[in-house]
Amino acid sequence: MNRIPPTLILASASPRRKELLGQLGIAFQTITADVVEHEDPTTDPREMVSHNAALKADRIAERHPEAFVLGVDTTVFIDGITLNKPADGQEARAMLRQLSGRTHTVFTGLALRQKSSNLRIDEGVASQVTFKTLSEEIIETYLSKVHTLDKAGGYAIQEEGELIIERQEGPLSNIIGLPLDETKQILTRAGLLL
């Protein structure tokens, strides 16, 4: 008798995360977790992304106890504060000005849950990104080409990155929003990948 493979659910509405997870060659579905994320800019960024990833995974796992649920959260950290998604174009401009010519850290929290087996795996990943020095003209050009309001820090490294990024250290997929090596490791630990 054929065993039905376990369901993997990505608890995210992010098209970037969906595309990245698809690169691992595992079947999954996406369900958006309707949660209020913790976004206090003075919170330790590692704790914030870990909390929010777990919040998303736990919410969907409650509704789908047999499924494996992957929750993910990413933020940008500089000057002792987190830069989450900008509220509007003005805030996006301010974030790009703050990041201009400097190095910041991108933190991602990963949480894998299966309620029926009490599986709980949590991981954190960090990458460093250094921006070029940005003129107002470059900032306006960048914002005219990239929708930034759904992106932590007000930028997307994979979209027109050559305009704003000098270099990066650590996983590029983490900066985009889903660190692939670490995701593969936790899915392997859970028996979803060989």
Residues taking part in catalysis? 73
Distances in Å between the alpha carbon of 104 and those of 10, 64, 65, 123? 27, 37, 38, 20
- Distance CA(91)–CA(144), nearest Å, equals 15
**Which sign, positive or negative, has the C-alpha torsion 14, 69, 129, 152?**
positive
111 forms bridges with which residues in the sheet?
Answer: 71, 122
Q: Of 71, 49, 73, which Cα lies nearest the Cα of 115?
A: 71
